């Protein structure tokens, strides 16, 4: 993963935030954390992140509302939904709203790393497509 990759971990459980940030920090990326949707949007205002790992169920703004706001305001940011309450309906809605992946908790370190890498690859391909000359 590029050393410059910036990833925001959004989860109301501190142990989850710390765990994901530690895993991603070992991958040479800049990993930050937010405890809820409001903090996540404030962090994005300061500096849009390349990838956001986003929990669905949190106090305050729910994850799917935060996903919608991120994709509306920062469409180049990739969002991976990670939830302890997976349903077919929420997976479908998350993907329709622009999430690039959907994982069910508990997630192991390899799943978190693979999801972050996949999101970064998707972002790089999207940027490449935007800058490619039209023939």
Contact 19, 64 (CB under 8 A): no
CB atoms within 10 A of CB 109: 14
Q: What is the mean pLDDT of residues 88-115?
A: 96
**What's the rounded mean pLDDT across residues 78-107?**
96
Report percent pLDDT > 90 for the chain.
Answer: 79
Question: What's the CA angle centered on 2, arms 100 and 95, to 5 degrees?
Answer: 5
Tokens of 41: 């949007």
Residue 7 has what pLDDT?
96
pLDDT tens, 37-78?
999 999 999 999 999 999 999 988 889 999 999 999 999 999
Whether 116 has a pLDDT exceeding 90, the answer reads yes
pLDDT at 28: 83
- The pLDDT value given to residue 124: 83
CATH 3.40.920.10 matches 6-131: no
Residue 25 scores a pLDDT above 50: yes
| DSSP 8-state code for residue 43 | H
Task: Determine the pLDDT at residue 35.
Answer: 96
Please give the pLDDT value at position 1.
45
pLDDT at 132 over 80: no
Has residue 85 got a pLDDT over 80? yes
């Amino acid at each position: 993963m590029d050393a410059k990759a910036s990833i925001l971990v959004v989860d109301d459980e501190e142990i989850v935030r710390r765990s994901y940030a530690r895993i991603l920090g070992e991958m040479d990326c800049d990993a930050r954390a937010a405890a809820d949707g409001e903090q996540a949007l404030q962090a994005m205002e300061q500096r849009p992140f390349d990838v956001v790992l986003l929990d669905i169920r949190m106090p305050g703004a729910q994850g799917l509302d935060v996903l919608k706001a991120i994709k509306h305001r920062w469409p180049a940011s990739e969002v991976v939904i990670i939830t302890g309450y997976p349903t077919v309906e929420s997976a479908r809605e998350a993907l329709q709203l622009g999430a690039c992946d959907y994982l069910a908790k508990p997630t192991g370190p390899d799943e978190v790393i693979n999801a972050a890498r996949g999101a970064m690859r998707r972002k790089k391909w999207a940027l490449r497509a935007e800058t490619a000359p039209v023939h």
